[in-house]
Structure 1
Amino acid sequence: MRSGFVTLVGRPNVGKSSLVNAFFGRKVLIVSDKPQTTRNKISCIYTDDDCQIVFTDTPGIHKPIHRLGEFMVKVAIQAMKGCDLILFVVDASKGYSEPEKRICDLLRRSNTNTFLVVNKIDLVKDSKEIERIVHNECNLFSKSFFTSVVQNQGVVELFEAIKAAMPEGPMYFPKEMLTDRPISFQAAELIREKVLLLTRDEVPHCVAVIVDEVTEKENLLYIAATIYVERDSQKGILIGKNGSMIKQIGTLARMEIESIADRKVYLDLHVKVKKNWRDKDFIILNEIGMKDEIDQGG
């Protein structure tokens, strides 16, 4: 039996979550085209007959402009400690710049086996050029891979190399377990994903979703959640005319939560304004799981 821990790092929106979903052949992490969709360290557990791999998706490493951003970067850096393999994911279309330089410095200090993953190669003509640049700048990767989740290129080869790189070890989690997060966290993430999908402009990054209650009622799972925004105008956008937007968000989120919970779900959504919560309100930072992860990581 082989088993181990794999951490994915990179700047925001390079496709880390999409790669994990591709490894599993199903959706286990929320995705969107908005940068900084992933806010927490999220572990997804892949198990087959001869291996168990715990993939840890991390927030994109970026220059933070508020406390939430600072916490997100710290979470990503801490996730690089104590793992067996790091996947440094680079967007082929964005190239190598300051974010990648900073991550390379962190990787150098981690002294952990690292694969370079040049992702989104469908967006460029010559993906080898970005590999050459990154290797010249960093020179610390044991292997390089070129992937496109959209075109299903290189994903299988990368996954097989990950399995081969895992040390011999035990199963750390039950075989049927897919994530280390409870249904309340998964529900909150799916609700936030639908907000990202359906809204534009200033709304997505100002949204936090907190599940207030999860109650089993016969064959029904009742979930009450609050969507927090920073301004009254954002609240109006989320509610929509005659409640049309919040209804659409709720319908899409409920369908996916039901597939995870394997039962009918009643989703009760509310929208509240909490001004400047990303900078000043540690209660909400704690509720969405950021502060606890920082405290646990030291």
Structure 2
Amino acid sequence: MSGEGTAPAYRSGFACLVGRPNVGKSTLLNALVGEKVAITSDKPQTTRRSIRGVVRRETPQGGQAELVMVDTPGVHRPKTLLGERLNDLVRDSIAEVDVVTLCLPADAQVGPGDRRLAAQVAEQVNRGRTKVVVAITRTDLGRGDDTPQRLLQAQQLATNVGLEVADFVPTSGETNDGIDTLADVLVSHLPAGPPLFPLEQVHDVPIEVLIAELVREAALDGVRDELPHSLAVVTEEIVPREERPESRPLTDVRVLVYVERDSQKAIVIGKKGERLKYVGTRARRGIEGALGVPVHLDLRVKVAKDWQRDPKQLRRLGF
């Protein structure tokens, strides 16, 4: 406890979001940070990287806290080498953070995937150091008494797998319901520590990765179920256009979209290139916001056969 005249301790630390695919983890991360850090989609397994966003809060004692939220891929039964590596990212995150936030959606029953993940957390978490919080997500999509039922199911789940849960918090990243409460709960479990990021920084996503993710988000919109897992995006080049006046800057951005088969390439490009044009138009708006200058976006689509199963291609694509 701080003595009289002593400044309140600064709190800092890491909390990860874990859950099955498509339970609202990335939407929750964006709501906590207060701006878009992670791409979102209604397609499962949209998140493929551990993305970190910074949340700064005042503590009830009048001090300051820096909470670094780590978004993780959805845990699933892997069918490819990529899937195995995504699950490994989640395991690594659980082992390295101060707080694990297990996400269970209000609009779906607790199922076998949730039980497997909860058991994994119970087995892996450092009980002497790491706290566990359960966030009931997507409460805006629940009906009637779905949220109270899910809270009861979450408590029973924790009991069944021997998982010690410090807090249960209903939330909605879409409507921001419960977001302040969740942030305060997570901060309360952080240890005393120094600032971790510069004050102006809200995420640690390299600009090349952010651009690629914005393109992939646009490409995922409206595509059929078998295509999303086969999409990979790499930013090849970000170059300011030469001989442009300072009053009219332009940056050339070259991005490659990879798929696994020629038939998928045709889907991404679309009839007479209309689909790819839509992807470019939508993605460019986000890229211009990230770079702060007008952008000329050059999108190319290439086939990298069975890249999800090929270690060499996975490395080349950044996995």
**TM-score with structure 2 setting the length:** 0.86
Matched-pair contact (CA < 8 Å) for 2:132–2:165: yes
The structure carrying a bigger helix percent of its residues is 1
Runs of 4+ off more than 4 Å: none
Matched residues in 1 for 2:79 and 2:46: separation?
16
1:146 aligned residue: 170
Tell me the amino acid that sits aligned with residue 266 of structure 2. G
Tell me the amino acid that sits aligned with residue 29 of structure 1. A
Instruction: Give 1:100's match in structure 2, choosing from 92, 103, 114.
Output: 114
1:53 aligned residue: 67
Correspondence 1:121 to 2:121: no
Per-residue CA deviations over 1:167-190 (Å, capped at 9, x if unaligned) read: 221111111112222110000000
Correspondence 1:232 to 2:262: yes
List alignment gaps of at least 5 residues for structure 2: 1-9, 59-63, 243-248
For 1:13-28, list aligned pairs within 5 A: 13-28=22-37
Deviation at 1:224, TM superposition (A): 1.1
Per-residue CA deviations over 1:92-131 (Å, capped at 9, x if unaligned) read: 2222222111211221121320101111223232222222
Matched residues in 2 for 1:26 and 1:183: separation?
16
Correspondence 1:284 to 2:317: no
Tell me the amino acid that sits aligned with residue 42 of structure 1. I
1:190 aligned residue: 214
Matched residues in 1 for 2:92 and 2:303: separation?
31
User: Which structure has the larger Rg?
Assistant: 2
Correspondence 1:272 to 2:302: yes
Matched residues in 2 for 1:261 and 1:284: separation?
28
Deviation at 1:48, TM superposition (A): 5.5
My pick for the range that moved more, 188-197 or 124-133, is 124-133
Correspondence 1:221 to 2:251: yes
Tell me the amino acid that sits aligned with residue 77 of structure 1. R
Aligned length: 289
- Percentage of pairs with the same residue: 37
Matched-pair contact (CA < 8 Å) for 1:19–1:149: yes
Instruction: Give 1:137's match in structure 2, choosing from 148, 157, 180.
Output: 157
Matched residues in 2 for 1:170 and 1:233: separation?
52
1:295 aligned residue: none
Tell me the amino acid that sits aligned with residue 162 of structure 1. L
List alignment gaps of at least 5 residues for structure 1: 291-298
Matched-pair contact (CA < 8 Å) for 1:118–1:145: yes
2:50 aligned residue: 41
Instruction: Give 1:171's match in structure 2, choosing from 195, 199, 206.
Output: 195
Matched-pair contact (CA < 8 Å) for 1:36–1:60: yes
**TM-score with structure 1 setting the length:** 0.92
Per-residue CA deviations over 1:202-234 (Å, capped at 9, x if unaligned) read: 222210001122223353332211101111111
Instruction: Give 1:77's match in structure 2, choosing from 56, 67, 91.
Output: 91
Q: Secondary structure at the match of 1:171?
A: coil
